[in-house]
Chain A
Amino acid sequence: MRNYRLGRALAHGAVVSALAVSMLNTSALGQSVDLSQWSPEYVRSIAGTEEYNTAEQCGAVTPLDYEGKLTFWYQGVFEGDPDLLRQYYKEFFEAFRTTYPNIELEEQALTYNDLLDKFRTALLGNAGPMVVRLQILGGVEFASKGYLQELSPEDVGWKTEDFWPGAMKSVMWEGKAYGIPTNNETMALIWNADIFERAGLDPEAPPATWDDVVAYSKQIHDTLGISGYGLVARKNAGNTPYRFMPQLWGYGGGVFDEADPSPTYEEIRLDSDASKQALQASYDMYVRDQSVPVSALTNQQADNQPLFLAGQLAMMISHPSDYNVMLDLQAKATGTDQEKAQTVIDNMRYGLIPTGPDGKRAVVFGGSNIHILNPEYVEGGEVDEAAAKAMVCFWTSPEWSLKMAYAGSNPGNLNGFKTVWMKERLDSIKFLDVTTAMLPYGIPFPTLPETPEIMNIIIPDMLQNVLTGAMTVDEAAADAAQKVRDLTEGGGL
């Protein structure tokens, strides 16, 4: 138990140090991309300025004629992703096999909500894969337990400075790196301008604050009888924290102090007045105004997408890829449904995520990281290090970290922004500017082993307790804070 606390203390220290470093002028640290200049214009100015040869670069890490075997699990595409992404995943594995024809690859795709459960279970039986690509909140949990090997960008031919400082924090445990970011994402607010206009709102102006979201949602519902905002409060689903945490942080709340410049994760703030305000906003929309989908408690974002396309939902938080998802869904529609869908697509607008009452804007700094496992937890008890590094290098290369994030997020390797494919992407993927503009507002989830439970269970539970009337806002906030307290102290049910 003492070791556990010591580990936590060391981790806190490491995180504080990492944050302090990330607060420094990034160009001074030799960042590949000057993050201090970050803006949509800057991103456009660097796109297409560099050329990269993935085979050559990864060949320097693992020879291209290397013979080996690799097992690989990854968080793959799911029902809410566009077909475009499916195509890139297919091309990625074809390219890997062409580049490394003598590596026998066994890959397995799992959805976001299934991957953690399956991976945990496999590890208990020492039956994990050699390499895994996990959601950003998962890495620390497995690194802290000793399942993962130390792995930094330098191990596969890149530099740590090639990656977002915030993303690198998510792979750090006790001062050491245990993975490499593959992609990083920040979402945006999407609205239907036609619905706004019919509801008497300015069609080209998104709600500026979360209070505005509540008011707009009510006005839309009262005027048109449809749902205003696409609230998501399902348990055990990543969609819930990705949509509620920006609201919580915007109001000035948090689980801990993760939204502060130098978080220590020691103070629990779920029951603070600011957190309660955020919770109250959800209550107002769901219970008081009934202006959001009733099915929010069982829905995921994938359930909001058809509602939005059918013109039954006015606002939602999501990726730029939702534009492509709408195009895919429209292609499957028939008759007048197709025309209706086209009207929605024509009226689809993207904007920055609203701020809290004090002007604070925040979004989850999301994404995924790739890790190599320690041999004793792998099926067969061996890890083919060279084959594993080949895969890690390939996915985190400027080319593939960009292509695999083509429609939905952004490349983990910052050099991806300089590639010709980024230039092509800026021209072909609508609303990309908005999501890249949101990146500087990104706040990483707390880098603690307990974070998956906090985000996937405790936060949704808190929301559900309020939205179902099982608890008041005060009670639900206090209950959630107590659960986090119990969890971090190693107790509780």
Chain B
Amino acid sequence: MTIHAGHAGAPRKALPPRPSVLRQMWTSRADYLYVLPAIVVMLIVIAYPVYYTIDLSFFKTPPGLQLKDKIFVGVENYTAILSSEVFWKVTLNTIIWTVASTLIAFVLGYAAALALHRDFAGRAVLRAILIIPWVISAVAASYIWKWMYHSDFGIIGQVLVQLGLTDRQPNFIDNVHTVLPSLIVVNIWREFPFAMIMIMAGLQTVPEQLLRAAKVDGASAWQRFWHVTFPHLSGVSTVTILLLAVANFNSFIVPWITTGGGPSNASHIWITHIYELAFGRQRWGVAAAYSVLLFIIVMSLGYFYVRALSGNEKKEEGP
């Protein structure tokens, strides 16, 4: 195949008109036919529920009426949510929960991955042990942590008392100030293995010859990490952080099973509050409006996730 490079001084030829979208679709009709079943399924299981949720968010659903008898109220549900004290309290909880869980799980996972990247005796066993929190059932883990945190006879408190670190059983989950940090600890425990696995996979892509060359040039371990390893992991780190953030934003099981959002809404995050509004209180309209707001935020995170993925692909393709 011969490539004709353009001459700087040569007059530009007019480009042929770009075919319309419909024409392109018609030309590629066979390709569209192949993906049609997937598109139909997506329309049914994603597009319709999204449309229905948005539609429902403009209606009121009192406890004495069926959903089909809902009353149109315009944007009243949105204004009710945004003017509610509970909403802002729950929003603050959600931000603390998401940011703290994501960042700490990421940092711990990163550190664990770096530690496990080096060769030492028992590495495989340790790696398997560290993955356990991520693979066991979240429901089972939540119940176990609930009992370990129990304010009257939880094992964590008992150990602290036995060690003389405290006079009486600490109150982890029955106190409005300590409940959220206590649940964040559980969430981090559950999620840091995911970050660890992602970073371990990323570490496989760091060029060994670059690290050796840096070492030969006299770079310290920290300099090799900071100038070689860390930049190479930036792509996978961004993706990991975004995936953790989305997962934490939608994290339901740990707070719901352990405290049900209590006490006094202190551990409610958006997703548990939406569940309670919908299924506990039948405020389907309000819950739908809440879900639309959550959807917008998660979609924004999704946009950055896709951008991060595209960026990684471009880097891999090179200049």
CB of B281 within 8 A of CB of A298, answer: no
Asked if B51 is at the interface (CB within 8 A of a chain A CB), the reply is: no
CB of B174 within 8 A of CB of A145, answer: no
- Beta-carbon nearest neighbor of B177 in chain A: A468
Asked if B86 is at the interface (CB within 8 A of a chain A CB), the reply is: yes
Question: Quick one: which of B84, B174, B258, B282 contacts A294, CB cutoff 8 A?
Answer: B174
Number of A-B contacts (CB under 8 A): 103
Interface string of A452-468 (1 = CB under 8 A from B): 11001100110011011
CA A235 to CA B281, docked complex, whole Å: 12
CB of A295 within 8 A of CB of B152, answer: yes
CB of B150 within 8 A of CB of A490, answer: no
Interface string of B61-86 (1 = CB under 8 A from A): 01111110001000000001100101
CB of B264 within 8 A of CB of A453, answer: no
Which residues in window 94-136 of A have CB below 8 A to B?
A: 117, 120-121, 124
CB of A236 within 8 A of CB of B176, answer: no
CB of A469 within 8 A of CB of B176, answer: yes
CB of A467 within 8 A of CB of B86, answer: no
Known contacts A234-B260, A493-B86; A457 and B281 CB within 8 A of each other: yes
In the complex, how many angstroms separate the beta carbon of B253 from the nearest chain A beta carbon?
15
Chain A CB count within 10 A is highest, among B62, B86, B258, B259, for: B62
Question: Quick one: which of B62, B264, B277, B281 contacts A490, CB cutoff 8 A?
Answer: B62
- Beta-carbon nearest neighbor of B266 in chain A: A468
Set of chain A residues within 8 Å of B55, measured between Cβ atoms: none
Set of chain B residues within 8 Å of A380, measured between Cβ atoms: none
Question: Quick one: which of B263, B265, B282 contacts A453, CB cutoff 8 A?
Answer: B282
Question: Quick one: which of B66, B171, B262 contacts A145, CB cutoff 8 A?
Answer: B66
In the complex, how many angstroms separate the beta carbon of A365 from the nearest chain B beta carbon?
21
Asked if B286 is at the interface (CB within 8 A of a chain A CB), the reply is: yes
Set of chain A residues within 8 Å of B240, measured between Cβ atoms: none
CB of A468 within 8 A of CB of B152, answer: no
Set of chain A residues within 8 Å of B258, measured between Cβ atoms: 298
Set of chain A residues within 8 Å of B283, measured between Cβ atoms: 493
CA A75 to CA B1, docked complex, whole Å: 76
Chain A CB count within 10 A is highest, among B86, B262, B266, B277, for: B262
CB of A493 within 8 A of CB of B276, answer: no
- Beta-carbon nearest neighbor of A142 in chain B: B66
Set of chain A residues within 8 Å of B282, measured between Cβ atoms: 120, 453
In the complex, how many angstroms separate the beta carbon of A13 from the nearest chain B beta carbon?
16
In the complex, how many angstroms separate the beta carbon of B244 from the nearest chain A beta carbon?
27
CB of B174 within 8 A of CB of A296, answer: yes
CB of A456 within 8 A of CB of B65, answer: no
Set of chain A residues within 8 Å of B264, measured between Cβ atoms: 461, 464-465, 468, 470
Asked if B279 is at the interface (CB within 8 A of a chain A CB), the reply is: yes
Interface string of A414-457 (1 = CB under 8 A from B): 00000000000000000000000000000000000110110011
Set of chain A residues within 8 Å of B286, measured between Cβ atoms: 493
Set of chain A residues within 8 Å of B150, measured between Cβ atoms: 295
CA A461 to CA B176, docked complex, whole Å: 13
CA A295 to CA B262, docked complex, whole Å: 12
CB of B280 within 8 A of CB of A4, answer: no
Known contacts A449-B63, A470-B264, A490-B62; A117 and B280 CB within 8 A of each other: yes
Chain A residues with a Cβ closer than 8 Å to the other chain, count: 45
- Beta-carbon nearest neighbor of A458 in chain B: B281
CB of B174 within 8 A of CB of A295, answer: yes
Which residues in window 26-85 of B have CB below 8 A to A?
A: 60, 62-67, 71, 80-81, 84
CA A294 to CA B150, docked complex, whole Å: 9
Chain A CB count within 10 A is highest, among B146, B169, B264, for: B264
CA A233 to CA B176, docked complex, whole Å: 14
Asked if B87 is at the interface (CB within 8 A of a chain A CB), the reply is: yes
Asked if A161 is at the interface (CB within 8 A of a chain B CB), the reply is: no
Asked if A487 is at the interface (CB within 8 A of a chain B CB), the reply is: yes
Which residues in window 274-306 of A have CB below 8 A to B?
A: 293-298
Set of chain A residues within 8 Å of B65, measured between Cβ atoms: 4, 145
Set of chain B residues within 8 Å of A453, measured between Cβ atoms: 63, 280-282
CA A490 to CA B69, docked complex, whole Å: 13
CA A307 to CA B171, docked complex, whole Å: 17
- Beta-carbon nearest neighbor of B261 in chain A: A235
In the complex, how many angstroms separate the beta carbon of A492 from the nearest chain B beta carbon?
8
In the complex, how many angstroms separate the beta carbon of B292 from the nearest chain A beta carbon?
15
Asked if B251 is at the interface (CB within 8 A of a chain A CB), the reply is: no
Asked if A141 is at the interface (CB within 8 A of a chain B CB), the reply is: yes
Known contacts A464-B263, A468-B264; A450 and B63 CB within 8 A of each other: yes
In the complex, how many angstroms separate the beta carbon of B155 from the nearest chain A beta carbon?
14
What are 30 A-B interface contacts by the 8 Å CB criterion?
A1-B71, A7-B64, A117-B279, A147-B66, A227-B152, A234-B260, A235-B262, A235-B263, A236-B280, A294-B171, A294-B174, A295-B151, A295-B174, A297-B174, A297-B263, A298-B174, A298-B258, A298-B259, A298-B260, A298-B262, A452-B63, A453-B282, A460-B262, A461-B265, A464-B263, A468-B266, A487-B63, A490-B60, A491-B80, A493-B84
**With A234-B260, A295-B151, A493-B80 already in contact, 15 other A-B pairs whose C-beta atoms are closer than 8 Å:** A4-B65, A117-B280, A120-B279, A120-B282, A121-B279, A145-B64, A296-B174, A298-B263, A457-B280, A464-B262, A464-B264, A487-B63, A490-B60, A490-B62, A493-B81
Q: Hey, which bits of chain B sit against chain A, CB under 8 A? A: 60, 62-67, 71, 80-81, 84, 86-87, 146, 150-153, 169, 171, 173-176, 258-266, 276-277, 279-283, 286
The 3 closest A-B pairs by CB, nearest first: A294-B151, A449-B64, A297-B263
